[in-house]
Structures are given as C-alpha cells and as structure tokens.
Amino acid sequence: MKKVLAFGTFDIFHPGHEFYLQQAKNVGDELLVIIARDTTVRMLKGTDPYNDQMTRLKKIHALPYVDQAYLGSEADKYALIEQLKPDIICLGYDQTHFIDDLEKELEDRGLNPEIIRIDSHKPHVFKSSKLRKK
C-alpha cells in the first residue's frame, strides 16, 4: 500500500486545491495531508490566514479522498514527514517553501520517497492569492 503525502496552506479552498489533492490520491493508495499552521502562514505570506488552522484542518479532513489530515509542526517542518514515512510526496505546481532542501533533508533522515510535481489546474483563475483579493 503506497502512502502519498501532500501539504499546503489550503486557506481559501478552491478547485485548484481539489485538483492537486485528487491527483495526489491517484498516484497511491492512502492520501495524507499536512496543513500549515497559522504561524507558518504568517511567516511565509506575511498575513494572517483567512481561515484558522482548525477550520482548514477540518475542511481537508472531511474530503472523501483524504485519508488523514494533520497540522504541521511549528518546531520542525520535516518531523511529521519523518513520522509518516510516505512512499510518495506530491508537490503543487507552485509550491516553493521548504522544498529547496527537501530531498537532502529527507535523505539525512533516512527517507527516500518519490517526489512528484502535480500540474496546475487553471492557475489564472484558481489561485488563493487571486481569490483573496475578491
């Protein structure tokens, strides 16, 4: 059974997020999703999330194709990945935070998951930064 891991903020959940998570589910058997903490969102985006971390967690966990959803660690961004030991990590087409050293960090922790970049789904329409301005 292949465990697939996806992660993100998922602040204003939209069809682009849904496409990303459904495509991630399609590459394995079990989809695990890590949701960024509010503090992480503030650090990365310089603003509070529109929806708090518990609201975002409940929304993602309720999706029928998501098997488990977790809040990320504030202390060690890779700790939950190390604990879950995914076979595959799926990245969104525009994910850039925490991935520069992802492969090296995973290797240092004895992990060697396949890393797959998921294509975009209408990014000119479905992008949180665009939707937030409306």
pLDDT digits (tens, 9 = 90+) for 46-86: 999 999 999 999 999 999 999 999 999 989 989 999 999 99
Assess if residue 10 is contained within a domain. yes
Q: Say yes or no to pLDDT of 111 above 90.
A: yes
Assess if residue 133 is contained within a domain. no
Spatial distance between the Cα atoms of 36 and 74, rounded to a whole number of angstroms: 9
Q: Please give the pLDDT value at position 122.
A: 57
Spatial distance between the Cα atoms of 106 and 112, rounded to a whole number of angstroms: 6
Q: Please give the pLDDT value at position 45.
A: 84
pLDDT digits (tens, 9 = 90+) for 6-47: 999 999 898 999 999 999 999 999 999 999 999 999 988 899
Count of domains observed in the chain: 1
CA-based torsion, 43, 10, 55, 65: positive or negative: negative
Q: Say yes or no to pLDDT of 131 above 80.
A: no
Pairing of strands 30-35, 114-117: unpaired
Domain span holding position 94:
3-128
Residue 28 to residues 12, 23, 88, 133, Cα–Cα distance (Å):
26, 9, 8, 35
Question: Per-residue confidence at 121, pLDDT binned at 50, 70, 90?
Answer: low
Assess if residue 9 is contained within a domain. yes
- Nearest CA to 92 out of 37, 34, 19, 20 is that of 20
